[in-house]
Amino acid sequence: MSSLLIVGNALAFYGYPRNTLNIDFLISVNTLQKWESLLMKFGYEKFHATGAFAQFKAEGAVPLDLMIIDNSTWEKLEEATGGNFNLQVRDLELAGRHARR
């Protein structure tokens, strides 16, 4: 599932640390159900949602926010960057559980 790390953690990745209490991802609406299923497997629950935003929390884990854009906008981002805007994550830990891609 493609995503784009945004806000505080993205700034820290590029050397501009900022205190943040959650992880924010930009995603295409086409992947929302897959994201929700994955997060539920890791014990997250959705506690707030609008058409363009969803917030998840899990006990003992960092909260996670999804900013949702339409597929047309996502495709424009991919086209403008040659599809090279995703940080490839091979290992991921959510809610104290480890997953490998």
CA–CA gap between residue 49 and residue 83 (Å, rounded): 28
Model pTM above 0.75:
no
Q: What is the edge-to-edge ordering of all strands in the sheet holding 45-50?
A: 4-6, 23-28, 64-69, 53-57, 45-50
Q: Which pLDDT tens digit goes with each residue over 18-62?
A: 666 778 888 899 999 999 999 999 999 999 999 899 999 999 988
Is 60 exceeded by the pLDDT of residue 73?
Answer: yes
Query: Looking at residue 33, what is its pLDDT?
Result: 94
Domain residue spans in the chain?
4-100
Give me the architecture of the 4-100 domain, per CATH: 2-Layer Sandwich (3.30)
pLDDT on residue 19: 66
With a pLDDT cut of 70, the percent of the chain lying above it is 62
Average pLDDT over the chain, rounded to an integer = 76
